Structure formats: C-alpha cells, structure tokens
C-alpha cells in the first residue's frame, strides 16, 4: 500500500527530474562542442563495430541522433541528455526500492545538483551511457533476484553488456554483481541458476562487437587501455593522490563526496553488523551490500592507482550515486540537515561553474574554456585554404585540433591526425591512409594547450615535408584574457 506521503514525494521527484531535464537542455545549447565531443562525433561518421579509444555505444548513439536531428549541437548531445535523465530515473527506482519515496526524492535531488553529474548529463563522453547502464543493470539485477523472472535476467544481461560496450570501467560492475550474490545468503542460490549464466552469455553477446573489432585490429583498444597505461606507471607520486582527492571534492562537491566516501568505506562494517542480527532491516542489509559490492571496490582501486597514476575526475562517476543516496538516508534518519547543505553547496558550485563558463565575467583558461575559439581557428584555416591547391590536406598535432577542425570547417572534411608526423594517431590512424597523402601539400594547426609545443612542431615538421613556412600566430581572447594562441604552418610535399 502506498502511503499518502509517498505519493507526494513521488510527485516531487518527477517534478525535479523534469526541471533538471529542461535546465540541462537549455544549458547544453549554450556551449560549442568540446574537443572530446568533436572527436567522438568523428567516430560516429565512421561507423564500426569498435574503436581504438572507447567502445561503441557512445558513437553509435551519436550516429543515430545526428541521422535524426542533423549534425549540430542537439544532434550530437541529445544522447548524453537522454542517458542523464534515464540515470536519474534508475537512481529513483533503486532508492525507493531500498528505502522509500522520501529518500528517493532527496537522493535524486542531490544527484541533480552535483557538478560532475550535470556535466555527464549534457556533454557526450562515454560516461553518460556508462552511468545509465550501470544503474540500470543494478536495478534490473535486484528485480531479477527478487522475482527470479526470465525477462529480468535477460534484461540484466543485456544492460550489463551494454555498460561494458560503453566503457571498460563496467568490468567492475560484473565483479560487484558476483560479490553481491555471494554476500547475501538468500541470493547465493542464483549462482547455480541457469538464468544467471544465460544473462552472462547475453552480456557477452552485447559486448561482442568490441571483441570482434579488437580481434580484427591486433587487440589495439584492449592493449591501449591496459598495457599502455600500466607502462606509464613509474613511481609513487603523492602529489597525484592529493590532486585526485581535490578533483573529486570539487567535482562531486565536498559534503556529498565525503558523505559518499564515508558511506562506502563503512559499508563492510555496516553489512557485518546487519547480518549478525544487530539490525533487523532487510532493506538495511540490501543497501549496505549494494554499496559494498558496486561502489567500494572501484573506489579502493582508483584510490590506490592515484598514488601512481593521474586518475581523472570522471573515472569514478558511476560509483557515487547510490552511496550519496545512502548518505541522504543516514542524514534524514538522524534528523540532520547535512543532505540539504550538501545539495545546496553542490547546486551553488554547479551554477557558478555554468555562469563563469557562459559569461566572460572572470578570466578562465584551460579545460573550462576548451569549447571556445575553434570557430576562429576554422575561419583562419578557411582563409589559408583559399590560396592552396584543392588536394591540400589539413592535420593537427594531437586529436583535439583535427577533431574540432573536422567539425567546424565548411563541408566538414576529414582532417588528419598526428600520425602524419609519426606520432600516435589514436582513431585517426584508421580513417586516413598516409600513402594517399604522399607528395601533397598540407596546412598544420597547433594549439599548445594540449601538450604539443611550438618548438616540437618546428623540429618535427621538416622531417616529413620538403619545405615548411610558419604563418602569423592567431591569439584568441575571452573576456580580456588570452585563451590560447593557435599556430599555423604551410607545409609542402609530404613524405610519409
């Protein structure tokens, strides 16, 4: 029986999800594509079973939405927006199943306020589908266990496979699912059930496009994401660890981050206390075992890695949602206001970030203005192209410049990547055959923000071209502050 109070909070939850959807949609229209989004859009216009950097769900989604809505901001970002709203719905379904509608409302409201979650609900990277399918798989697994219905087991397998086809991080979801079944005595019987193994087979089928692509390309993506990153680890770097903590505090917001981490770290002890009978709530056991299984392992793994390697702030994104809900439940149960303060602080951080990024009130540089200036570079490149042969090609020193130019130049030509001058070409390696460029002239564009210096360009370019001319630099300003300076070179007679 649904309590009247639950009906009210259900209504409130639907209102805040709707408000978040409207807010995010209008905000996403205000920003040009990030370099990453331009790069992933390039994936989408080269449909394939798999890709070098990331699996296929994201580019396949962009391909579909751009076919329907065109190659524009809405067409490219719509999938991220939909996945973001879907993730909030799954969080609501999970939270109200574990606790009640009131906790679910506050959990969803808190998630809506988090800066990192808003970014993942507007800008298209692999994270929006990862979070959607991670939370979806968790909800479906709970339903499958409770009902033992074939349809829920099949949907769990499909969703889990698609989470892996979104981002390899989802391998931790499978580990968590096994741990979840193992921890709960009444759930262990499912480890011997054929339904579980049918679900695993379906997840393997869903992930198989990435396996097939890797098998056809010398396991390039698997090696890039595993062996290459492992080889970059050299020694302990304490500064990396503190940078990781600082980035998480900022991206999730301090109160909600600390609450989620503490809830995750306490989950093993809370679970042990629960199963020993010191708490009688089966929902309490369910909540603690979910956080222990699906959040704590990834949190501990990346916290350990952060001592040796730079962990990006978005790598942990799927693990925070349910611990934040658990923190909300703790705060409400003790009649505290920490969940309210956490949501307010997170919302203020999000709003300040958006205002600063939209309006040039404060001079900012780096990633926060990575969407700015590309139209100016494209305009300059268009002027350069007016004075060269039609077969002249364009290339950049790393993936961001060629990706943005591919999108912003008229007729959207395929701009070439850094493999033109012997560097790792990322996905560009698979799009352009360098032998077809031999003997042709080129225009090279450089943005030193992304780690490739002007001095390095001056040394490398003459090794691959008969003649190189440096043109007038193109400085770009925003609100009185220099964002970057683009450097453009005319290059003659390419020799691969």
Q: How far apart are CA 173 and CA 171, in angstroms?
A: 5
Q: How far apart are CA 364 and CA 469, in angstroms?
A: 32
pLDDT per residue as tens digits for the range 414-446: 999 999 999 998 999 999 999 999 999 999 999
- Find the helix or strand (DSSP H, E) in which 443 lies: strand 442-446
pLDDT per residue as tens digits for the range 204-238: 999 999 999 999 999 999 888 876 666 666 678 89
Is pTM beyond 0.75 here?
yes
Give me the mean pLDDT over the 109-123 stretch. Answer: 97
CA 23 to chain centre: 20
Higher model confidence: residue 348 or residue 481?
348
pLDDT per residue as tens digits for the range 3-27: 556 789 999 999 999 999 999 999 9
Q: Is a pLDDT exceeding 90 seen at residue 45?
A: yes
pLDDT per residue as tens digits for the range 357-415: 888 777 777 677 888 999 999 999 999 999 899 999 999 988 999 999 999 999 999 99
Nearest to 155 by CA among 189, 202, 187, 197: 202
DSSP 46-86: S--S--SSS-SHHHHHHHHHHHHH-SSHHHHHHHHHHHHHH
Average pLDDT, the chain: 93
- How many CA atoms does the CB half-sphere of 21 hold within 13 Å? 15
Give me the mean pLDDT over the 255-262 stretch. Answer: 97
Contact 179, 290 (CB under 8 A): no
**Using only C-alpha atoms, what is the Rg of the chain?**
24
- Name the 3-class secondary structure at 482: strand
Question: Per-residue confidence at 1, pLDDT binned at 50, 70, 90?
Answer: very low
Contact 298, 319 (CB under 8 A): yes
Contact 20, 88 (CB under 8 A): yes
Q: Which two tokens stand for residue 276?
A: 């020993």
Q: How far apart are CA 188 and CA 274, in angstroms?
A: 17
Q: How far apart are CA 3 and CA 226, in angstroms?
A: 50
Nearest to 324 by CA among 287, 376, 370, 378: 287
Ranges of beta strands (E only) in 116-230 are none
Percent of all residues in the chain with a pLDDT value above 70, rounded to a whole number: 96
Look at the block and give the residue holding tokens 């589908």: 129
């Amino acid at each position: 029986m649904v309590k009247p109070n639950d009906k009210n909070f259900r209504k409130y939850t639907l209102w805040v999800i709707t408000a978040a959807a409207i807010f995010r949609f209008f905000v996403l229209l205000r920003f040009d594509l990030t370099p990453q989004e331009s790069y992933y859009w390039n994936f989408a216009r080269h449909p394939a079973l798999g890709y070098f950097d990331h699996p296929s769900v994201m580019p396949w989604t962009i391909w579909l939405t751009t076919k329907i809505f065109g190659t524009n901001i809405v067409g490219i970002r719509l999938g991220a927006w939909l996945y973001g709203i879907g993730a909030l719905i799954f969080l609501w379904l999970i939270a109200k199943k574990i606790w009640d509608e009131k906790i679910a409302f506050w959990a969803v409201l808190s998630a809506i306020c988090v800066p990192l979650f808003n970014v993942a609900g507007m800008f298209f990277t692999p994270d929006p589908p990862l979070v959607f399918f991670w939370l979806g798989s968790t909800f479906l697994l709970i339903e499958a266990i409770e009902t033992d219905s074939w349809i829920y087991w099949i949907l769990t397998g499909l969703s889990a496979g698609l989470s892996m086809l979104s981002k390899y991080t989802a391998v931790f979801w499978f580990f968590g699912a096994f741990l979840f079944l193992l921890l709960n005595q009444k759930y262990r019987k499912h480890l011997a059930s054929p339904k579980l193994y049918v679900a695993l087979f379906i997840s393997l089928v869903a992930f198989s496009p990435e396996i097939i692509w890797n098998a056809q390309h010398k396991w390039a993506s698997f090696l890039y994401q595993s062996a290459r990153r492992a080889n970059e680890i050299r020694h302990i770097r304490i500064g990396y660890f503190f940078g990781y903590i600082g980035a998480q505090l900022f991206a999730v917001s301090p109160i909600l981050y600390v609450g989620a981490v503490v809830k995750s770290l306490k989950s093993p002890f809370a679970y042990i206390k629960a199963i020993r009978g010191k708490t009688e709530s089966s929902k309490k056991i369910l909540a603690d075992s979910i956080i222990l299984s699906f959040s704590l392992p990834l949190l501990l793994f990346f916290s350990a890695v952060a001592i040796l390697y730079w962990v990006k702030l978005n790598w942990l994104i799927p693990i925070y949602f349910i611990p934040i809900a658990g923190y909300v439940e703790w705060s409400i149960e003790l009649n505290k206001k920490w969940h309210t303060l956490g949501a307010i602080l997170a919302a203020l951080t999000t709003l300040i970030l958006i205002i600063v990024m939209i309006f040039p009130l404060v001079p900012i540089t780096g990633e926060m203005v990575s969407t700015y200036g590309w139209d100016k570079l494209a305009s300059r490149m268009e002027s350069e192209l007016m004075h060269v042969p039609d077969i002249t090609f364009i290339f950049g020193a790393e993936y961001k410049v060629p990706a943005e130019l591919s999108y912003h130049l008229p007729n959207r030509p395929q701009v070439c990547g850094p493999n033109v001058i012997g560097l790792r070409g990322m996905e560009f390696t698979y799009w352009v055959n360098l032998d077809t460029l031999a003997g042709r002239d080129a225009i090279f564009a450089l943005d030193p923000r992304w780690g490739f210096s002007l001095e390095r360009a001056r040394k490398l370019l003459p090794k691959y071209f008969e003649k190189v001319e440096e043109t007038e630099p193109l400085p770009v300003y925003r609100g009185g502050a220099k964002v970057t300076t683009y450097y453009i070179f005319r290059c003659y007679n390419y020799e691969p």
